[in-house]
Amino acid sequence: MMSKWIPLWLHKLGSPPTFYRFAGTLRPWMLALALLTGAIALYGGLVMAPADYQQGDAYRIIFIHVPSAWMSLFIYGVMGFAAFLALVWRIKLAEVVAMESAPIGAAFTFITLVTGSLWGKPMWGTWWTWDARLTSELVLLFLYLGVIGLYHAFEDRRQGARAAAFLALIGIINVPIVHFSVNWWNTLHQGSTIRLLGPSTIAPGMLWPLLTMMLATKFYYLASLFGRVRTDLLDLESGKDWVRTIATGSTHQ
Amino acid sequence: MNPPGLTTACAAMLRRDLTLAWRRRGDIAMPVLYALIVTMLFPFALGPEDTLLQRIAGGVVLVTVLLAMLLALDAMFSSDIEDGSLEQLVLAPQPLALMLAMKILAHWLTTALPLIVIAPLLAGMLHLPTAVMPVLVLALLLSTPMLSLLGAILVALTAGTRRSGMLLALMLLPLCVPVVIFAAGAVAASQQGLPWLTPIAWLGAALVLLLVLAPLACAAALRIALDA
Amino acid sequence: MNPPGLTTACAAMLRRDLTLAWRRRGDIAMPVLYALIVTMLFPFALGPEDTLLQRIAGGVVLVTVLLAMLLALDAMFSSDIEDGSLEQLVLAPQPLALMLAMKILAHWLTTALPLIVIAPLLAGMLHLPTAVMPVLVLALLLSTPMLSLLGAILVALTAGTRRSGMLLALMLLPLCVPVVIFAAGAVAASQQGLPWLTPIAWLGAALVLLLVLAPLACAAALRIALDA
Amino acid sequence: MTAAPTAAPNNTPLLEARALSFHRQEEPVFAALDFRLCEGELALIEGDNGSGKTTLMRILAGLLHVDEGELYWRGEPLLQRDRCIGEILFLGHQLGLKADLSPSENLRISLGLHGCREQVSIASALAEIGLSGYEDESVRRLSAGQKKRVALARLLLLPATLWLLDEPYANLDRTGIALVNRLLENHLACGGAALVASHGTVSFHGGEPQRIRMHA
Amino acid sequence: MTAAPTAAPNNTPLLEARALSFHRQEEPVFAALDFRLCEGELALIEGDNGSGKTTLMRILAGLLHVDEGELYWRGEPLLQRDRCIGEILFLGHQLGLKADLSPSENLRISLGLHGCREQVSIASALAEIGLSGYEDESVRRLSAGQKKRVALARLLLLPATLWLLDEPYANLDRTGIALVNRLLENHLACGGAALVASHGTVSFHGGEPQRIRMHA
Amino acid sequence: MNASSLQHFLAMGGYAGYLWPAYAVFFIVLLADFFAPLLRRRRLLRELRSRLARKAVRQQRQAPTPTEPA
Ligand code: HEM
Ligand SMILES: Nc1ncnc2c1ncn2[C@@H]1O[C@H](COP(=O)(O)OP(=O)(O)OP(=O)(O)O)[C@@H](O)[C@H]1O
Ligand SMILES: Nc1ncnc2c1ncn2[C@@H]1O[C@H](COP(=O)(O)OP(=O)(O)OP(=O)(O)O)[C@@H](O)[C@H]1O
Ligand SMILES: [Mg+2]
Ligand SMILES: [Mg+2]
């Protein structure tokens, strides 16, 4: 049924040893790209971009806050999609991708919360308020943690992955809430200033480092995900011959 | 030897759970006592200042009821899982979602209802004005079933694990944040003399939606958690 | 051939419980998450009004930490009773009270300490002034061991019965009302700029007393519970 | 295997019970029980299910308090437990193993509490008991007989004069049963003593053991 | 005692295993296991500790999922469990009794789940199993052998064609062992079948039982 | 870039106390996230090797005494 519409190479990629090797070759490249674009973005953001006329230099937190915030939502989306595949077609690789995305998403959500509150102190005069966006982002962190916790609560890892995938799907309603909260409720938090379609209301000198950093975080996500998926595959397939050769053969690879 | 009709099966299911609860009627009293004591702790922790207590009464009662329900939630399926009757239920020739709905109903009747009955007492201990009581009860009547329904889904998900109630709390609380916000919003509005119908209406709408969807989701979750 | 020295035995006991906790380290994180979420619920239930939150912050954090510890308390001896290792402990050529003190210490380290570490964060979320934080942490440092010690006695007493976490809560909460009063008193005094040393001193004195008496009481209670 | 008990056998019995009786909810479990156990001796406790074998064991181990009668340890009344504690090893229906820990971790805890015989290492004890290769598996993942063997490894490791073994043969295969018998023989030869409750026939080489019959 | 199974014995075996194998952490517990069990037959599962007897039992009971090989129930592939559920009775190392409830309450729960044989009451089953007088004691207060007997009373009460008994003799005294043998004989005589894992020798009158050897 | 301009840069217009911790958190969390699976992978492979070794021991133990006693 799957084979009808999934191309052969994709089908093959879904086999754990193939994906293990594929991810192994791609991961250093992703990491290098992430480091390169990240360095450029940092230079652009911290050195080249002018200070904001209102916020002074504090606004430079934007170059990590906003990409991290986007990633926290984007990764939840990826996780939800993979969870859907895992539940409907029981694809092992989809389970692994969903479950290994969760810690990365949680990391970005955590960064968003911390950088946001570090930014909020000088801007709003408080580390934390209970407004809609901040709260829903915190709820997002709890959803990630719930998924991770449920996954690890099971003895059988694949069963745990499916149960956690179900939870991830239930929680996906929170993603639009985070994104649109600034429109639906009037809050302290800033509304959308950056649009991919239509004109952005941000100075181009600030925009390009932001977009470059966004690219860097995407590359980083892929690099980290590949590393995690490789490890998880080793664990899941620990009895298979290909894992044994890795274990007994060269320790580094 | 045909499977019994739907009504018969539902009634049997409901009766079974209510009888079991009655056998352990001490356990029914526990959430109530727990809520009482937690509510009592607040005046000690915050100092017996009437206006302050009055201001927080509605919210504290809501949170307390929620926590008490949470503690009882863990037991919704656990004994059935231990003795294998849940597996029997899954294999029974009846729509699983409907049977689960009956279980959830029984659970609500035995844990939430007693809490709702004493909620005015708890609120009274914190000096909530009498005029606000009906709104509080109404909000509880609408929000506790939602907690039961949402909780049932999550409890079903954790059915195959060596569970800890804490994991359940972690999973449930994000989902019930909106419920708490709307319920507390209604109580607060009524306390300030503002119209409180809008949040109550939202709660009602969400409840109707959940009443339809949650049993189905619960059945799906249970099948995932039981089948290895 | 002499029984090993007290230090060796204490170290073995402590290491054992910490290893077991580490094996199930997910369970360590749970009380912390629980406390976080319960704290979060209050702003939703009471409305995000900074001055109000600030006023109740200390009390809410204390109650929350107490509830989180309570949930974890139930597990202190239960697995040891089920698998018979408590019997072996009773039969070991070591003073039981001391061994139990080690168990209680391990329990405090794995449940209360993480809670104390995040308590400032919780308090910060409710806008407790930074100046009050040290007093809050101090109060927690003195009061949580008391909860662990008191809880251990009660858990030991209920060891032979079919326990439910609720029963434990019912027995423990009245006992810890004085603890909560003094701890909250210290925090409130510091928040109002009043001297807060007196309640802290009382807490300290009570803690010293309990440190000596509670392990003995716990050992006695356990022997009673096992002798059936 | 090394000898754990060092005292030479002499005439005062290690453990003596005089007119022991025990009641549960006012019903006698057993009454007027007398026996003497010297060093180097084995006593079998026999009786039907529910006749009080486990109860007697738990009394001797100090987990239950005797109602009437006296117990003597090396000729002196056994009022305070600390007189014999550390010299008695009790193995009951509950094995006292932590399912989350491995066999070696479990045994290391016992060693920490009870001390160790000389020249016996955990690894060698586990090998002798037939569990080499399972040292670091978690006990949860062992079969019923393997769990029992981990508990029996305590007999090899811990110093004790009197062994109280409640159904030591249950769940063991034939090699396991032979092993327990070998352990018992060694222990007695070194001057130890043992009380064993068992339904199976204990095929024991080296003298007819004493029999204590419980009447339900 | 009344006959539970009503179907007359015929040629298709009740349960058939073909090339069954099971892995734990990718290590084989057993491989290529074949056997057929007809109505009225008994099979003994033999093997050392840790050889996979319990594992096999749990697979047959539907508690574990088989890796490779096929299971047939009355000649039809056993893919869905509901084909045989209610016909299989499993008694494992864990007795599945609620310690808080009394023997009769425990048995009543089982009856509610599985239905009841005709003409057997809980009281008579408990009497037959040797527990009259203990009907309303809480299971927590029973001795090890008495607990086992409560679990065995299920064999008398519940209707089932295939009994899966994991070490049914452990903890029982001699009359208890004889009782289990009598129950087994009756069950087989009435057209039932049984798989028994045991280390003790099953003294069985009425035909040599089939033996399934597990190799560790 | 001379020392004073570096100082100027590090001061971040007086917001250094907020800005640099934010960047530090960003990098520390991501580093931890990146290295956690590598550590886990090392542990997994070590466990797998010891499992294989143990399996060899078990098989070796069974070889001299076959399971059939009689
Ligand atoms: C703890 C506090 C904060 C949290 C949890 C938080 C969370 C978020 C999230 C989730 C987004 C992404 C929304 C989306 O893509 O739909 C975002 C975007 C953004 N945040 Fe924050 N934030 C916090 C504090 C702040 C502060 C103090 C500022 C500045 C004064 C700020 C400025 C921005 C900006 C400019 C964006 C980009 C908006 C856009 O163009 O889409 N944030 N924040
Ligand atoms: N839950 C589990 N997880 C992983 N491995 C297990 C588990 N239970 C048992 N094993 C392993 O599987 C193998 C077979 O165990 P099983 O319990 O089937 O043995 P058994 O024949 O019943 O032994 P016994 O006679 O001791 O009861 C053993 O090597 C054991 O270590
Ligand atoms: N915890 C308890 N509380 C009350 N009565 C008990 C308790 N444990 C056992 N009994 C009762 O005491 C009597 C003796 O039990 P005991 O466990 O000593 O028997 P046993 O000889 O060890 O039997 P078995 O061979 O079955 O292990 C039994 O009648 C039992 O019902
Ligand atoms: Mg016994
Ligand atoms: Mg077994």
Structure confidence by residue, pLDDT tens digits, A197-229:
455 566 777 788 899 999 999 999 999 999 999
Closest residue by Cα to residue C216 from C132, C153, C126: C153
Whole-number Å distance between alpha carbons of B104 and B98: 10
Find the DSSP H helices in F1-70: 3-11, 16-62
Q: Which residues pair with D33 in a beta bridge?
A: D20
pLDDT for the residue D3: 42
Whole-number Å distance between alpha carbons of B107 and C215: 39
Return the structure tokens found at C219. Answer: 């050992």
What mean pLDDT, rounded, does chain A reach?
84
DSSP E209: P
Report, as an integer, the average pLDDT of C135-141.
93
Per residue in D91-136, pLDDT (tens digit) is 988 888 888 888 999 998 888 888 777 778 898 999 999 888 888 8
Return the structure tokens found at B65. Answer: 């009821």
Where are any strands of DSSP class E within chain D? 15-24, 27-37, 42-46, 68-73, 76-77, 88-91, 162-166, 193-197, 210-213
In this prediction, residue A7 has a pLDDT band, given cuts at 50, 70 and 90, of low
In this prediction, residue E4 has a pLDDT band, given cuts at 50, 70 and 90, of very low
pLDDT for the residue A11: 67
pLDDT for the residue A199: 55
CA D171–ligand 5 middle distance (angstroms):
8
Q: Which residues pair with D76 in a beta bridge?
A: D73
More confident residue, F44 or D4: F44
pLDDT for the residue C143: 92
Residue whose CA is closest, atom 33 of ligand 1? A190
CA E53–ligand 2 middle distance (angstroms):
8
Report, as an integer, the average pLDDT of C166-175.
72
In this prediction, residue F33 has a pLDDT band, given cuts at 50, 70 and 90, of very high
Per residue in E94-108, pLDDT (tens digit) is 777 767 678 887 787
Q: What percent of chain A has pLDDT over 70?
A: 85
pLDDT for the residue B199: 85
pTM to 2 decimals? Answer: 0.78
Residue whose CA is closest, atom 36 of ligand 1? A66
More confident residue, A77 or D72: A77
In this prediction, residue E92 has a pLDDT band, given cuts at 50, 70 and 90, of confident
In this prediction, residue E114 has a pLDDT band, given cuts at 50, 70 and 90, of low
Q: Kindly list the protein residues whose Cβ atom lies closer than 6 A to any atom of ligand 2.
A: D 141-146, 171; E 24, 29, 47, 49-55
pLDDT for the residue B91: 55
Contact B174 A139 (CB under 8 A): yes
CA A22, chain centre distance (Å)? 20
| pLDDT surpassing 80 at residue E145 | yes
Report, as an integer, the average pLDDT of F27-46.
91
Per residue in C31-56, pLDDT (tens digit) is 888 888 888 888 888 877 788 888 88
Q: Are A148 and A203 in contact (CB under 8 A)?
A: no
Task: Give the ipTM of the model, two decimals please.
Answer: 0.74
Q: Are D214 and D52 in contact (CB under 8 A)?
A: yes
SS3 of residue A154 by DSSP:
coil
pLDDT for the residue E204: 65
Whole-number Å distance between alpha carbons of B46 and C180: 10
In this prediction, residue E75 has a pLDDT band, given cuts at 50, 70 and 90, of confident
Residue whose CA is closest, atom 24 of ligand 1? A116
The low-confidence residues of chain B, meaning pLDDT below 70, are 1-5, 23, 82-85, 87-94, 160, 162-165, 226-228
Residue by residue, what is the 3-state secondary structure of B192-218? Answer: CCCCCHHHHHHHHHHHHHHHHHHHHHH
In this prediction, residue C105 has a pLDDT band, given cuts at 50, 70 and 90, of very high
| pLDDT surpassing 90 at residue F50 | no
SS3 of residue C224 by DSSP:
helix
Return the structure tokens found at B58. Answer: 């509605």
Return the structure tokens found at B104. Answer: 């959830």
| pLDDT surpassing 80 at residue A31 | yes
- A67 backbone φψ class: left, alpha, beta (φ>0; ψ -120 to 50): alpha
Nearest residue of E to residue D29 by CA position?
Answer: E143
pLDDT for the residue B194: 83
Report, as an integer, the average pLDDT of A161-183.
88
Sign of CA dihedral E164, E170, E176, E181: positive
| pLDDT surpassing 90 at residue A76 | yes
CB atoms closer than 10 angstroms to residue E79: 9
Where are any strands of DSSP class E within B85-124? none
- Touching E: which chains, 3+ CB pairs < 8 A? A, B, D, F
pLDDT for the residue B1: 34
Burial tier of E135 (Cβ tally within 10 Å: 0-12, 13-18, 19+)? middle
What mean pLDDT, rounded, does chain E reach?
81
SS3 of residue E165 by DSSP:
strand
Closest-CA distance, F38 to chain E, in angstroms, reads: 22
Q: Which residues pair with E70 in a beta bridge?
A: E18
The low-confidence residues of chain D, meaning pLDDT below 50, are 1-9
Secondary-structure breakdown of chain E: helix, strand, coil percentages, each rounded to the nearest 5: 30, 25, 45
Backbone φ and ψ of E17, nearest 5°: -115, 130
**How would you label C50-70 residue by residue, b for 16+ Cβ within 10 Å and e otherwise?**
eebbbbbbbbbbbbbbbbbbb
Whole-number Å distance between alpha carbons of E143 and E173: 12
E176 interaction partners in chain D (CB closer than 8 Å): 49
Report, as an integer, the average pLDDT of E201-215.
75
**How would you label C110-132 residue by residue, b for 16+ Cβ within 10 Å and e otherwise?**
bbbebbbebbbbbbbbbbbeeeb
- Identify which ligand lies nearest to the alpha carbon of D171: 2
pLDDT for the residue C138: 93
| pLDDT surpassing 60 at residue F21 | yes
Q: Does the beta carbon of D52 lie inside 6 Å of ligand 3?
A: yes
Where are any strands of DSSP class E within chain E? 15-24, 27-37, 42-46, 68-73, 76-77, 88-91, 162-166, 193-197, 210-213
Cα atoms in the Cβ-side hemisphere of radius 13 Å centred on A209: 22
Nearest residue of A to residue C123 by CA position?
Answer: A128
In this prediction, residue C71 has a pLDDT band, given cuts at 50, 70 and 90, of confident
pLDDT for the residue C205: 92
Backbone φ and ψ of D23, nearest 5°: -120, 145
